[in-house]
Amino acid sequence: MTQLDFIAVEAPMTPLIAPTRLTADHRMEFRRAVLERLEACVRDGESAVELDLGGTLEMDASGLGVLVLLQKRARERGRVVRLLNAPRTVRQMLNITRLDSLFEFVKR
């Protein structure tokens, strides 16, 4: 390898931090934030959108809908969605609705 040879390494991405409550009250703001993050991932050539749910205490159908929308749009763009530090309650909701297989789960 010469001094001019480079090795391509994907830089670690900064996850989007989900709000404490993923509910109807916060749906539009959360939706905007996740779709903006997805577009940034596409623009930057990142393979995945990471969403840190570690501080999320509550999620209703509205929050679930935003996660599904993000996953659908990410798949259309050839990206995956990684849910980091998903609390038991969030994982249970995804499991009960049989949507857990749509996401990658990572504990950090």
Task: Give the mean model confidence (pLDDT) for residues 51-68.
Answer: 95
Q: What is the pLDDT of residue 108?
A: 82
pLDDT > 70? residue 1: no
Q: What confidence tier does 2 reach under pLDDT thresholds 50, 70, 90?
A: very low
Instruction: Please state the domain extents for the chain.
Output: 16-106
On whether the CB atoms of residues 91 and 67 are closer than 8 A, the answer is no
Q: What is the pLDDT of residue 11?
A: 52
pTM of the full structure: 0.85
Task: Give the mean model confidence (pLDDT) for residues 47-71.
Answer: 95
Q: What is the pLDDT of residue 9?
A: 45
Q: What is the pLDDT of residue 35?
A: 96
Domain 16-106 has CATH 3.30.750.24: yes
On whether the CB atoms of residues 94 and 103 are closer than 8 A, the answer is yes
Q: What is the pLDDT of residues 4-33, one digit of tens each?
A: 454 444 555 789 999 999 999 989 999 999
Q: What is the pLDDT of residues 79-107, one digit of tens each?
A: 999 999 999 999 999 999 999 999 999 99
Rounded alpha-carbon distances, angstroms, from residue 23 to 4, 46, 66: 51, 28, 10
